[in-house]
Amino acid sequence: MKLYDYILSPSCYKVRLMAALTCVKLDIRPVDFHPGAEHRGPELMALNPAGSIPILEDADLILTESSAMLVYLAARAAPEWLGSGAAEETARVQQWLSFSNRLTASLGGARLHEMLLRPGDITALQAQGIAALRELEAGLVEQGLRGMRFLASDRPTVADIACFPYVALAPDGGVSLAPYPAIRLWSRALRSLENFIEMPGIHRLHELKPDPHIEPDGA
């Protein structure tokens, strides 16, 4: 499975993260998105006329939407990430997968503007980002009241992975995460998962490793 990848792209990171969590080995093909704009060059446009990355290629299958890539990885390697199949849970997975596009447009747009100097109405992008974060926060609060720690169930699904990267990187676009306690707990739960990997801008949870300077003793 070949992933056309940019290390700073949260959408590419979704796929790398999902692959890591489900122990799928990806063949990474780095794309010079910035400054080279290679995603707009002939080789990649032939694969994806929309000129976006990530692109996931597996034999005859070419995927250009990150949510579809998450579903494909889960279906192939770890179907529990698709949810239990119960009607309500299936609907919630789809709800948040679709919602994740709003995070990309708003928080992702603000991040590209503030970090890589892409054009955009930054005030509007940040306001839309805050509106999306509030929806996610409310959704997580309600899930918590139902006894569930994640967006669609009490275990993480593809929906969580679809939403996590742009949320965690909101500060890159000048949008603070301080006002969202439920998002903070959810983010921490995801970052504590076995085989979790970071991307630049999401630092290591150093507390998950014991302090290396304290001798393990019986005192």
Partner 1 sequence: MTHNAMIDEWYPVGLFSKLDAAGRKTALMGEPIDVARDAEGNAKVTEGNGRPLPVRVRYGHVWSSLGAPQKALFAIPEADQAGRRFVDVGVVRVRCSPLRAVENFLDIAHFPFVHTDILGAEPHTEVQNYKVEIRDDEVWATQVKFYQPQAAKSASGGITTEYMYRVPAPTCAVLYKTCPPRPSEWDVITLFVQPLAEDLCDVWPWMALFDDTTSLTDLIHFQQTIFLQDRSILENQIPRLLPLDPGMEIPTRADLTSVAYRRWLKRHDYTYGAQLVAQ
Partner 2 sequence: MLPDTTGSWTPVALSADLPAGTVMPAWTPAGSNALWRSDSGRTAASADRCPHRGMRLSHGFVRGEALSCIYHGWSYARAGNCLRIPAHPGLAPPETIRVATQRVEESDGLIWVAVGEPAAAPPRLEGLVPLRSLTAHASVAALETAAGATAGPEGIVWKVQASQTIRLLLAAQEDDQTLIHVLLRDNSSPAQRIAASRAAETLRRAAEALQAKGIAP
The least CB distance from residue 31 to partner 1, in Å, is 7
The least CB distance from residue 175 to partner 1, in Å, is 12
Residue 120 binds which one of partner 2, partner 1, none, with CB within 5 to 8 A depending on kind?
A: none
- In the complex, the residues that contact partner 1 under the rule CB under 8 A are 6-8, 30-32, 34-36, 38, 114-117, 171-172, 174, 200-201, 203-204, 206, 209, 212-213
Of 194 and 211, which has the nearer Cβ to partner 2?
211
Of 25 and 209, which has the nearer Cβ to partner 1?
209
Q: Is 32 in the site for partner 2 (CB under 8 A)?
A: no
Q: Is 131 in the site for partner 2 (CB under 8 A)?
A: no
Q: Is 211 in the site for partner 2 (CB under 8 A)?
A: yes
Residue 200 binds which one of partner 1, partner 2, none, with CB within 5 to 8 A depending on kind?
A: partner 1
Residue 6 binds which one of partner 1, partner 2, none, with CB within 5 to 8 A depending on kind?
A: partner 1
Tokens encoding 53:
């990355």
DSSP calls for the chain: -EEEE-TT-HHHHHHHHHHHHTTPPPEEEE---TTT-GGGSHHHHHH-TT--S-EEEETTEEE--HHHHHHHHHHHH-GGGG----HHHHHHHHHHHHHHHHHIIIIIHHHHHHHH---S-HHHHHHHHHHHHHHHHHHHHHHHHTT-SSSSSSS--HHHHHHHHHHHTGGGGT---TT-HHHHHHHHHHHTSTT----TTS---GGGSPPTTS-----
N-terminal to C-terminal alpha carbon distance within the chain: 51
The least CB distance from residue 130 to partner 1, in Å, is 18
Residue 116 binds which one of partner 1, partner 2, none, with CB within 5 to 8 A depending on kind?
A: partner 1
Q: How many residues bind partner 2 (CB under 8 A)?
A: 22
Contacts of 40 (CB under 8 A, 6+ apart): 51
The residues binding partner 2 (CB under 8 A) are 134, 137-138, 141-142, 145-146, 178-179, 181-182, 184-185, 188, 203, 205-207, 210-211, 213-214
